[in-house]
Amino acid sequence: MAVEAAGTSRGLRVYKIVVLGDGGVGKSAVTLQFVSHSFLDYHDPTIEDSYQQQAVIDGEPALLDILDTAGQVEFTAMREQYMRCGEGFVLCYSVTDRRSFRAAAEYRRLLAQARPSERLPLVLVGNKLDLAPRFRQVTTEEGRALATQLGCPFFETSAALRHFVDDAFHALVREIRRLERQRQVFRQAVDADGGDVFEASSHWSSDEEEGTTHRLKHTTWRFNSP
């Protein structure tokens, strides 16, 4: 089902963000670092936690409403409900756990199954970068390749050291805004031309930094004449 814009709170645009990933990958640790600048150094399995954090992203204030979800199999039904109500999604895995990396791709498949007709804002996060020198099982190149396949930004993060944590959440808000602008332009063009879309062509551009890959999709729409 389509999700309407999350609305405003205290004059701020609210962004409904859902953090998905297997248990033990550090979803709660990443989220807590973002909202409270503190590190959770033990694993207490999450059922559901909700947080709010204000941020100024590209000069525009935002209120991020973040849902930290359970990664355990027994909470699958709850997770499906979260997928239907989220506005943007953080797909999280651990660079020290190859199984969790495969699961990140599976979460994307489940999202497509729950919301088949929608283009969903995503960001792929490989956490536990601080443990990579000794325990890495998933290479940076593999993470980038999956992000390219999913068409989303990619970050390797360390919740323990707060590396690239803010960057990941800010990038997701940018993805939400970008898709909103595309939908707005599309609607305005249809209203102005009074025609129907008959063709759309797309291409991708990349912008890479250390530890990150940004993928932007550029779509050209053509319309029938009224």
- What's the CA gap between 11 and 207, in Å, rounded? 32
Neighbour-count burial for 101-114, b at 16+ CB within 10 Å, e otherwise: bebbeebbeebeeb
pLDDT in tens for each of the 226 residues of the chain? 333 345 666 689 999 999 999 999 999 999 999 999 999 777 666 557 899 999 999 999 999 999 998 765 555 677 788 899 999 999 999 999 999 999 999 999 999 999 998 999 999 999 999 999 999 999 999 999 999 999 999 999 999 999 999 999 999 999 999 999 998 998 888 777 765 554 444 444 455 555 555 455 444 444 444 4
How far is it, in rounded angstroms, from Cα 110 to Cα 119?
A: 13
The one-letter amino acid at 165:
V
Is the Cα dihedral 74, 77, 83, 86 positive or negative?
negative
Give the whole-angstrom CA distance, residue 167 versus residue 194.
Answer: 40
CA separation for the pair 82, 214 (Å, rounded): 25
Domains, the chain, in order of start with CATH, read 8-174 (3.40.50.300)
Note the pTM of the prediction, 2 decimals. Answer: 0.80
